[in-house]
Amino acid sequence: MFRQILFTQFRWTRTLLLLMAVFTFVVPTLSWNLGGNVFAAGLAPIAVMNGFSTVGPMLVLGAWTLGFLLVALPWGADSQSRHVYALSLPIPWSQYVAMRFGAGAITLLVPTLALWLGSWLVVAMIDMPPTLRAYPGLLALRFFLGTLLAYALSFLLQYLAGRRAAVVLLVLLVAVFGLGMGLSLANQHELLVRITLWFIDWPGPFSVFASEWRLIDV
């Protein structure tokens, strides 16, 4: 049954996965072309690192986009049939949801592998200073983890809020923004910093995004 769910997941999201795979494959090369020209003038190793400085932000953006869309597309297909297929299966709803989640998580490997290959390709093309090292595997793993987290959060929102997911998301965003503004205006900077750090410091849920997403490092 899981194979069937995986198959439908893949079929419903194949265009998105293909586009994201192309995106992650070209991100390292694109980043190098945007920022790596300085190295041609023979600058220091830090110039090589700076050349890839846009890799991290681009991949974080890609991870959130992919995570959200990868939930929305299958949910849309399921909800069109009012979840009749899912509810008619001889398994509990929770098991179906877990399998749907697992299937989506497995498809995240496609853009991750594309990123890994694209990173290797660009690293092979440049003359690396001896004190620097390339971390294509680590970057791909971070991307996978970031995408998985974004996917999980979108999944939670979609499967709890159902058709009202967009409204709930909007309310959540407004609430977060309002809380931040309120605490700032009330001069509660310390509390605001503590709350933020709880989310982004390890083991906070967003700590993976606070890590260094670098292809090249010492």
Partner 1 sequence: MCESRATLPRRVAVGVLCIGLLGGSSRLTAQDSLLPARASAAALRAELDRAEREADSLKERVDALASEKEALFTGRFEAGGRTVRFIPGDLTDADRRIIEEGLTRAEASLRARYGDDLAPFRDPVVWSARSLGPNNPRGTFLSAHRRSNAYWGPRDFNMTQPTVELVEAIALDQAGRNLVDRAPRISEFTRSTLVLNDGRRRFARAGREMALSYASAGRECVAGSPAACRAVLTLPGADGGLSLYFSPADYRSVVTSGELPPTADSAQFAARRRCLAGSDTACVTAVAALSRVPNPFSGTLRSTAVEVALELGGRDAPTRLVTTRDGSALQILATVAGVTEDSLVRAWQQRVRTAMDAESPDAGRDGVTVAAWSLLILFGATRRKP
Collapsing DSSP to helix, strand or coil, 18 comes out as helix
8 touches partner 1 (CB under 8 A):
no
Rounded CA separation 203/201 (Å): 6
# chain residues binding partner 1, by CB under 8 A: 51
- Give CA–CA dist 177/156, Å, rounded: 21
- How far lies 5's CA from each of 13, 98, 112, 188, in Å? 12, 11, 21, 48
The answer to whether 203 contacts partner 1 (rule: CB under 8 A) is yes
Note whether 90 binds partner 1 by CB under 8 A. no
Contact 126, 32 (CB under 8 A): yes
Contacting partner 1 (CB under 8 A), which of 70, 115, 123, 208?
208
Instruction: List the structure tokens of 164.
Output: 């009202």
From 25, 22, 13, 216, select the one nearest 127 (Cα to Cα). 216
* Residues between 12 and 51 that touch partner 1 (CB under 8 A): 41-46, 49
The answer to the question of residue 5 lying near partner 1 (CB under 8 A) is no
Residues at the contact surface with partner 1, assessed by CB under 8 A: 41-46, 49, 79, 82-83, 87, 93-94, 97-98, 101, 105, 129-132, 135, 138, 141-142, 145-146, 148-149, 152-153, 155-156, 159-160, 162, 187, 189-190, 193, 202-205, 207-208, 211-212, 214, 217-218
